[in-house]
């Protein structure tokens, strides 16, 4: 893992909610980290320990940054399936019948 400069991070602490009782509900154990250059925000509130949550949030941030650096796979176009072709032909025939029905009204 590459080190992220501390000046690129904004760390916010907050009271997390959920199971864990009074200890978790009244302590500032939730950690939110924002990576300024990319705008990615990650949070961790699972643990009652602020230190453990900070480490989890940093690990998540590393994962998100690695995923961003990973090149995307090129999409390989595929031929349309048989059902799609049949549906399209059926819709064209239906549209043709509607157009055939148009015309001068005989009186």
Q: With respect to CATH, is domain 6-69 assigned 3.30.160.20?
A: yes
Domain positions in the chain are 6-69
Instruction: Look at the pTM and tell me if it is higher than 0.85.
Output: no
Tens of pLDDT, residues 68-87: 999 999 989 889 999 999 99
- Give every CB contact of residue 98 below 8 A, 6+ residues apart in sequence: none
The DSSP code sequence of 38-102 is TTEEEEE-SSS-HHHHHHHHHHHHHHHHHHHHSPPPPPPP-PPPHHHHHHHHHHHHHHHHHHHH-
The DSSP code sequence of 3-32 is PPPGGGEEEEEE---SSSHHHHHHS--EEE
- The rounded average pLDDT for each run of 10 residues, N- to C-terminus, in the chain (107 residues) is 86 84 81 96 91 96 94 90 95 94 77
């Amino acid at each position: 893992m590459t080190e992220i400069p501390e000046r690129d991070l904004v760390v916010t602490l907050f009271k997390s909610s959920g199971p864990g009782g009074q200890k978790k509900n009244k302590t500032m154990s939730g950690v939110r980290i924002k990576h300024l250059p990319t705008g990615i925000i990650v949070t961790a509130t699972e643990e009652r320990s602020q230190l453990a949550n900070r480490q989890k949030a940093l690990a998540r941030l590393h994962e998100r940054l690695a995923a961003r650096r990973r090149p995307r796979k090129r999409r390989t176009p595929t031929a349309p399936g048989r059902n799609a072709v049949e549906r399209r032909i059926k819709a064209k025939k239906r549209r043709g019948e509607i157009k055939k029905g148009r015309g001068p009204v005989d009186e």
